[in-house]
């Protein structure tokens, strides 16, 4: 009975924290939702239309246009950067303003606090991802999602993973500079080199192997597989879909455990 009441208490707390985070995303929509859509639209215009038309004339990506090839990668790029950015800025902001204490003094479990922030980041990432996907319809001749389940699950898992990354970054951050270091010097290079604009099979073997150490390659490829399955030439499928799921889930388990451990120890939030 007691455990049930605690479960209910935590469930209500999780809903409350998720609502708080979603309200934040929607309240500052010109900062959270619009810019990624504009940036990605520019990618569609420059890389898809202008550069892509030349690539298509030179043989393209098999049966699909270059634009269709880069759409999944650009959606993933938006999902990754927005899930990370949302949690890192929201949780660090709470630390900075000290309103994280509202959560720390409450009976909510640390897992619920982590899940609440993750949920907020995932909502933003998926909203942005959906918007970017819808915009792509203006640049493709009717983009068809081949497997809704693979597409949706990869987007969900990827956003989950990077919200945890953002949370860990926010816990360790002591100043605003620390919030932008990882996105600028780690995430952006890994994303650009993660097969968004090209198939890693086009690289020399050495760089193909190096690329396989980049976890973003697995997410971009799995998402591309979900959208273009059956239409994408075999030689442009860089990663086996099962391997991709295993890698993504492994990262989620490891990062979630690390974040929870840090939260239990009060790293960055308790003296």
Given the rule CB under 8 A, which residues bind another protein? Answer: 5-6, 8-10, 12-13, 15-17, 19-20, 23, 27, 94, 97-99, 101-109, 266, 270-271
- Give least dist CB 87 to another protein, A: 16
Among residues 98 and 231, whose Cβ is nearest to another protein? 98
- Give least dist CB 86 to another protein, A: 15
Q: Where are the alpha helices (DSSP H) in the chain?
A: 2-27, 29-32, 34-43, 52-57, 66-97, 101-104, 110-136, 148-172, 176-182, 188-192, 205-211, 215-228, 241-265
- Give least dist CB 174 to another protein, A: 13
* Alpha carbons 171 and 258: distance in angstroms, whole number: 11
Q: Residue 225's CB: how many other CB atoms inside 10 A?
A: 23
- Give least dist CB 159 to another protein, A: 23
Vertex 270 angle, CA 269 and 271, to 5°: 125
- Give least dist CB 171 to another protein, A: 15
For the chain, give the longest Cα–Cα distance: 69
Among residues 12 and 249, whose Cβ is nearest to another protein? 12
* Alpha carbons 243 and 241: distance in angstroms, whole number: 5
Among residues 100 and 125, whose Cβ is nearest to another protein? 100
Are residues 74 and 40 in contact, defined by beta-carbon separation less than 8 angstroms? yes
* Alpha carbons 118 and 113: distance in angstroms, whole number: 9
Among residues 40 and 94, whose Cβ is nearest to another protein? 94
Among residues 115 and 133, whose Cβ is nearest to another protein? 115
């Amino acid at each position: 009975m007691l455990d049930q009441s605690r479960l209910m208490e935590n469930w209500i707390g999780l809903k409350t924290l998720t609502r708080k985070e979603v309200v934040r995303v929607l309240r500052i929509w010109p900062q959270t939702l619009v810019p990624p859509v504009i940036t990605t639209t520019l990618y569609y215009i420059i890389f898809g239309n202008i550069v892509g038309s030349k690539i298509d004339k030179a043989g393209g990506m098999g049966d699909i246009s270059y634009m269709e090839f880069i759409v999944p990668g650009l959606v993933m790029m938006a999902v990754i950067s927005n899930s990370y950015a949302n949690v890192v800025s929201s949780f660090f902001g709470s630390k900075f303003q000290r309103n994280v204490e509202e959560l720390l003094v409450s009976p909510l479990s640390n897992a619920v606090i982590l899940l609440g922030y993750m949920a907020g980041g995932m909502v933003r990432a998926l909203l942005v991802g959906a918007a970017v996907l819808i915009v792509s319809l203006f640049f493709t001749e009717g983009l068809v999602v081949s497997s809704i389940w693979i597409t949706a699950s990869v987007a969900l898992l990827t956003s989950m993973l990077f919200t945890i990354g953002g949370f860990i970054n926010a816990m360790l951050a002591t100043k605003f500079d620390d919030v932008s270091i990882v996105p600028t010097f780690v995430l952006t290079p890994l994303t650009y080199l993660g097969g968004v604009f090209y198939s890693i099979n086009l690289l020399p073997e050495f760089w193909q192997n190096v690329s396989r150490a980049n976890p973003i390659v697995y997410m971009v490829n799995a998402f591309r597989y979900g959208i273009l399955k059956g239409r994408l030439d075999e030689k442009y499928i860089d990663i086996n879909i099962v391997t991709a799921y295993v890698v993504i889930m492994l990262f989620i388990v490891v990062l979630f455990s690390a974040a929870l451990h840090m939260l239990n120890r009060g790293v960055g939030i308790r003296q």
